[in-house]
């Protein structure tokens, strides 16, 4: 009974922590739909292997959202045909590169200037690596089928056949998607509100599932198990990466959680904890499923894990 109460308490904490940011993300997405229903301006965002992800990452300063709230915004960018690199740069770096997270990191670790520099810099590196890695595969194998269909409707006719679009004379459009796009173009407040509510409920249900799984696993696996290897140069990094996946705490407050065990782990492990969680954790996996295919999500997990592990080890070599 005590363990069930613990699971429930952890679940409530994770959900209440994430829901406001999800609401902010949906609101930003709906606002973008209202101001630019056809995605004309979003399609003009910078492209390129370097400029695209960097410009997307910098959007985090203007659109503060954690790893839950940035999913609907990134999904909107992809749906209207924005460059992949720009959308991925925002998706992977914005949870760290926003004023709330930067200030919370500074408040928690004012005595660690290297962390205040390396956390945002590391998130940009991760965004560049993942953006380049994901664009090695085709959009059909990269994006969720529903998102892919919506993105293709926003592309020029020459880019895809009618069969690929699933619209026009060949195939039938998705009913919900067609209604959604019509409401967006007409820019009716009722249509925009309906879309926002539906998106919040859909993503919210996935968030509830993610929080439940995270709370269950976090309760069953003691946190001390991950901290036991805190002083081993390599194993400490790996253990704190696993801890970041399990605890699934929001990026806006993860620095204060890390403060509680910062003295027990290596510098590289501390950095790894603060870099990996904002990209992917048990709580956000279900949300990312609304953007990526399973293959792409596996690529994201492998890419960010290897990148964070290398950065954590490099930092340990320099500071230990």
Is the Cα torsion angle 141, 142, 148, 151 positive or negative in sign? negative
Q: Could you tell me how far CA 230 lies from the centroid of its own chain?
A: 27
Asked if 52 contacts 87 with a C-beta cutoff of 8 angstroms, the reply is no
Dihedral sign of CA atoms 305, 309, 312, 318 in order: negative
Name the pLDDT band for 61 (thresholds 50, 70, 90).
confident
Q: Give yes or no for residue 229 having a pLDDT over 60.
A: yes
- How distant, in Å, are the alpha carbons of 35, 63, 156, 216, 285 from that of 30? 9, 13, 23, 33, 23
183 compared with 96, residue with greater pLDDT: 96
Q: How many CA atoms lie within 13 A of 28 on its CB side?
A: 23
The two structure tokens encoding residue 303: 């890419």
Summarised one tens digit per residue, pLDDT across range 79-131 is 888 899 999 999 999 889 888 888 889 999 999 999 999 999 999 999 999 99
Position 175 confidence tier, pLDDT thresholds 50, 70, 90:
very low
pLDDT for residue 277 is more than 60: yes
pLDDT of residue 230: 66
Selected residue with higher pLDDT from 232 and 255: 255
Per-residue pLDDT band for 167 (boundaries 50, 70, 90) equals: very low
**pLDDT value at 20 more than 90:** no
132 has a pLDDT exceeding 90: yes
pTM of the model: 0.83
Neighbouring C-beta atoms of residue 172, cutoff 10 Å: 9
Summarize the confidence of residues 4-30 as an average pLDDT. 79
What is the C-alpha to C-alpha distance for residues 245 and 254, in angstroms, rounded to an integer? 12
Q: For the chain, give every domain's residue range.
A: 2-319
State residue 114's pLDDT score.
Answer: 93
**With 70 as the cut, is the pLDDT of residue 163 above it?**
no
pLDDT at 197: 74
Residue holding tokens 């501390």? 270
Helices (DSSP H) in the chain: which residue ranges? 2-35, 51-62, 70-79, 84-93, 99-108, 113-134, 139-142, 145-153, 162-165, 175-186, 189-220, 223-227, 235-247, 254-259, 267-276, 285-288, 294-319
């Amino acid at each position: 009974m005590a363990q069930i109460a613990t699971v429930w308490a952890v679940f409530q904490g994770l959900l209440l922590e994430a829901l406001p940011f999800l609401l902010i993300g949906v609101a930003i997405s709906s606002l973008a739909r209202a101001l630019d229903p056809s995605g004309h301006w979003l399609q003009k965002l910078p492209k390129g292997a370097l400029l695209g992800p960097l410009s997307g990452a910098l959007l985090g300063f203007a659109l503060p959202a954690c790893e839950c709230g940035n999913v609907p915004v990134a999904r909107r960018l992809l749906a209207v045909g924005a460059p992949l690199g720009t959308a991925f740069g925002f998706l992977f770096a914005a949870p760290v590169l926003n004023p709330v997270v930067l200030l919370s990191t500074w408040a928690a670790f004012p005595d660690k200037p290297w962390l205040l520099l390396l956390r945002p810099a590391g998130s940009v590196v991760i965004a560049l690596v993942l953006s380049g890695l994901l664009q090695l595969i085709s959009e059909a194998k990269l994006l969720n089928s529903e998102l892919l269909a919506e993105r293709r409707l926003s592309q020029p006719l020459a880019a895809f056949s009618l069969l690929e679009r699933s619209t026009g004379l060949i195939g039938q459009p998705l009913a919900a998607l067609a209604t959604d796009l019509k409401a967006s173009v007409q820019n009716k407040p009722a249509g925009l509100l309906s879309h926002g509510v539906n998106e919040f409920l859909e993503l919210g249900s996935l968030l509830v599932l993610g929080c439940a799984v995270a709370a269950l696993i976090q309760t069953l696996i003691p946190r001390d198990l991950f901290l036991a290897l805190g002083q081993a140069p390599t194993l400490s990094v790996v253990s704190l990466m696993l801890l970041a996946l399990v605890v699934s705490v929001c990026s806006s407050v993860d620095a204060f959680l890390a403060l509680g065990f910062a003295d027990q782990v290596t510098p590289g492990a501390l950095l790894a904890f603060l870099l990996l969680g904002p990209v992917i954790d048990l709580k956000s996996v279900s949300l990312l499923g609304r953007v990526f295919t399973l293959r792409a999500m596996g690529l994201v997990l492998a890419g960010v894990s290897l990148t964070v592990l290398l950065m954590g080890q490099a930092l340990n070599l320099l500071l230990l």
